[in-house]
Amino acid sequence: MSITDRFLKYVSFCTTSDDSTRMTPSTPGQMEFARFLVEELKQIGLQEVTLSDYGYVMATLPATTQEAKPVVGFIAHMDTSPDASGKNIHPSIKIAEDGPYKGQELIVTDGTTLLGADDKAGIAEIVCAMEYFIQHPELKHGKVRIAFTPDEEIGQGADHFDVQTFGADFAYTMDGGEIGELQYENFNAAAVTVTIHGVNVHPGSAYHKMINSMRIAYQFAVMLPRWQTPEHTQDYEGFYHLTHMSGTVEETTLHYIIRDHDAHLFESKKRELEHLVHKVNREYGEGTAEIAIRDQYYNMREKIEPVMWIVDLAQKAMREAGVEPKIKPIRGGTDGATLSYKGLPCPNIFAGGENFHSRFEFIPIPSMEKATEVIKKIITML
């Protein structure tokens, strides 16, 4: 099966994750997709194909040599971002008329949903590479493990990942963006909920009685540094991002994510939010504002630097595949960040798509083909 056909089949599954369900996987569509992948992996000839109760798919490409080689893993996630609809995706193929992909076939959306290249392109690339080796048993290589995870987009993709069962010495997530991306640094990340409690009385008799939680919430939001937001930061600059706000006079909730590559700046952002909550409480009374902070993942650089040869290997594989590596920090996170802290060093390689999490998402078909080639090169170069 061509990588295009495989990818188009994958995006027909609605796998949007949802951090409000408190389940893993967080949505039933992910488990449906996982079951489909299990059957596909068995059909193409992989061994030790498993599906956990938490929706983690794992499989083995057996070694074709008796020579001792490290076990490499390749990982991608099955869910898509809740930032845009992932239901009833209607992709089409167009020829790029200009830009860096001029003349290439692009898979695009119809403009009403995201595409799902993040990260179903990564899954398609891994499966196509595994199928290639199954069909070419004469190629000598060591044991390869693959895994597809749920709920990466809500920061829970590696929560129930059993590193020991996976059994790889190191791995790569195929979850990067444009062709050539190679990443071993990512944000430190936390989710923050600020709850403002108010007092609601009839507005006609509200003098010195009403406390409007929505107005206080607005006051809280504007106290944060206006230039430390996603739209004003780049490269290694961190941010506060207000992702959702809802409420009434009586209670308003603000949901933030905070991000920073630097661990000290990351902690200072948490302290600043706590300081502002204390400031609100000093003005309006203790208990008016409450804050809950939950760390999501940390910068994997600390865990990758002692084994930088795996980054060097990926660079060499890219060049062998005719791709120039573009090493830059991830302004986000991958399962590999958490997995690196669980003892599985896991840099991130491009999947090829662009404009992730939006209805303008697209992926050039040649980029998917090159990503597949990079996987094959890594396996044969070990």
- Of 197-201, 221-225, 332-336, 373-377, the poorest mean pLDDT is in 332-336
Residues 277 and 207 in one domain: yes
160 confidence band (pLDDT: 50, 70, 90):
very high
Stretch 4-24: mean pLDDT, rounded? 96
Quote the pLDDT of residue 378.
98
Indicate if 152 belongs to the active site.
yes
Active-site residue among 79, 118, 131, 260? Answer: 79
The shares of helix, strand and coil residues in the chain, as percent rounded to the nearest 5, are 35, 25, 40
Quote the pLDDT of residue 227.
96
pLDDT tens readout for residues 335-370: 899 999 999 999 999 999 999 999 999 999 999 999
Residues 192 and 115 in one domain: no
Residues 23 and 106 in one domain: yes
Q: Is-contact 113 90, C-beta < 8 A?
A: yes
Residues 146 and 174 in one domain: yes
Q: Residue 331 and residue 21: Cα distance in Å, rounded?
A: 26
Residue with tokens 């693959």: 146
Sequence-distant (≥ 6) Cβ neighbours of residue 318 within 8 angstroms:
180, 182, 324, 325, 374, 377
Can you give the length of the chain in residues?
Answer: 382
268 confidence band (pLDDT: 50, 70, 90):
very high
Stretch 124-145: mean pLDDT, rounded? 98
Residues 171 and 203 in one domain: no
pLDDT at position 111 over 90:
yes
Residues 35 and 177 in one domain: yes
- Of 111-115, 224-228, 331-335, 373-377, the poorest mean pLDDT is in 331-335
Q: Is-contact 380 345, C-beta < 8 A?
A: no
User: What is the amino acid identity at position 210?
Assistant: M
Residues 80 and 220 in one domain: no
SS3 373: helix
Which of residues 296, 313, 333 is at a domain's end?
A: 296
Which candidate, 144, 27, 112, 129, places its Cα nearest to that of 78? 27
Count of domains forming the chain = 2
Active-site residue among 152, 153, 260, 335? Answer: 152
Residues 194 and 174 in one domain: no
pLDDT at position 296 over 90:
no
Q: Give 254-271 as a DSSP string.
A: EEEEEEESSHHHHHHHHH
pLDDT at position 243 over 90:
yes
pLDDT at position 334 over 90:
no
- E strand or H helix at 92: strand 92-95
Indicate if 67 belongs to the active site.
no
Residues 64 and 164 in one domain: yes
Quote the pLDDT of residue 332.
84
Residues 100 and 175 in one domain: yes
Q: Is-contact 344 170, C-beta < 8 A?
A: yes
DSSP 153: G
- Chain centre distance of CA 266: 19
pLDDT at position 155 over 90:
no
Stretch 178-190: mean pLDDT, rounded? 96
Residues 167 and 178 in one domain: yes
Domain that holds residue 74: 3-186+299-381
Number of Cβ within 10 Å of residue 205's Cβ equals 8
Quote the pLDDT of residue 315.
98
Stretch 271-288: mean pLDDT, rounded? 97
Q: Is-contact 195 255, C-beta < 8 A?
A: no
Quote the pLDDT of residue 382.
95
